[in-house]
Chains A and B, each alone.
Chain A
């Protein structure tokens, strides 16, 4: 067993820890469109990635991302410097996508349009067929999780948030974050054949 790989923390993308500075936030609060543009340059990919992971539909993810940034623009004055701006923005993202996913769940049958959304336009062509199939399968199975489990898993894996940060973003106790993550992983693991351990049980 390669212990070093078990011990190493999942490497965070440096982009995922980047924050805008206070001057941009001040300009945002003053209603300056250029500041919104800078905000998108810093957080656009992150918010879109989370929206796409949760909604699994490109057009919906684009609409949701746009809505999150417009809300951030309108509500910038409500941001208090007690938390990181990215945490606040991800909270807007989590709330909006939760509402969207629940509303959609009431309207549509779960499954078909959503997983197609990721599979249809991606992945990049240099990825192999097996990797592509595995990715599509994961996207499809991820949609079988409740939106609450999906959210916490995506925010943890894509954004690398700590449990404390996840609790703040999702507005739930840390114990809920912990249990949702355990169940999300168990469920996804049960659904994904690729991630099963091939090692026979001892004894």
Chain B
């Protein structure tokens, strides 16, 4: 094995990702060639250095994460089961409503469903209003309301589907 081939394969070699026969040839070359041998040592040393950058998580994090998870659960439990409400904290997080509300007219499940009951349209209007959507509803609306809210980084904050054909 020559120096060039060795240098090209050194990264995979130090990671133990070379086939055994190639790895053996490379080891033989490293024993004979000071330059390539030193290069391999340097790569290993660099790996040690990167590993040394790791630090344990602060001890306070464990309690904080549990607290946040508990708070998120409580928020979810407090919410009306079908109209999403956002806490001020979420608002401060500059939540953006992506496709603030999308109305899905399901085809087959609603092929024979009744027209919305009188209660359903106010409910739908409230939902649209709360989501700051510019959707307009008219009396012919019936179907499912899918509500998606995302944080700026794309995390889905809330997803709910509301069936407005049964008075909700």
**A interface with B by C-beta (< 8 Å):** 1-3, 5-7, 9-10, 31, 33, 36-37, 40-41, 44-45, 47-50, 52-53, 62, 65-67, 69-71, 73-74, 96, 99-100, 103, 118, 122-123, 134-135, 138-139, 142, 153-154, 156-158, 162-163, 178, 181-182, 185, 188-189, 192, 194-199, 201-202
Contacts and interface: CB of A to CB of B under 8 A. Distances in A.
B15 A198 contact: no
Shortest Cβ-Cβ A-B pairs, 6 listed = A49-B54, A48-B57, A197-B38, A1-B37, A157-B50, A199-B38
B69 A185 contact: no
B35 interface: yes
Contacts of A66: 61, 64-65, 68
A66 B58 CA distance: 11
Nearest to B45: A195
A69 B69 CA distance: 9
Interface string B47-80: 1111111111110011011101110110000000
- Secondary structure of the B side of the interface? helix
Interface string B32-46: 011101111111111
B121 interface: no
B155 A36 contact: no
Contact of B65 (A36, A50, A135, A181): A36
A100 B151 CA distance: 13
18 contacts: A1-B30, A3-B30, A7-B27, A40-B66, A45-B57, A52-B55, A53-B50, A53-B54, A62-B58, A70-B72, A96-B153, A99-B154, A122-B55, A138-B49, A157-B50, A185-B11, A185-B43, A195-B49
Nearest to B58: A62
Contacts of A198: 38
Given A70-B69, A188-B46, A135 B17 contact: no
Interface residues of B, number: 47
B166 interface: no
B54 to A, nearest CB: 3
B139 interface: no
A44 B42 CA distance: 30
B48 to A, nearest CB: 8
A10 B11 CA distance: 13
B46 A189 contact: yes
A50 B12 CA distance: 21
A34 to B, nearest CB: 8
B2 interface: no
Given A6-B41, A69-B65, 8 more contacts: A6-B14, A31-B73, A45-B54, A53-B54, A73-B69, A138-B53, A178-B12, A199-B35
B109 interface: no
Contacts of A7: 27
Contacts of A53: 50, 53-54
Contact of B17 (A70, A99, A162): A162
Contacts of A157: 47, 50-51
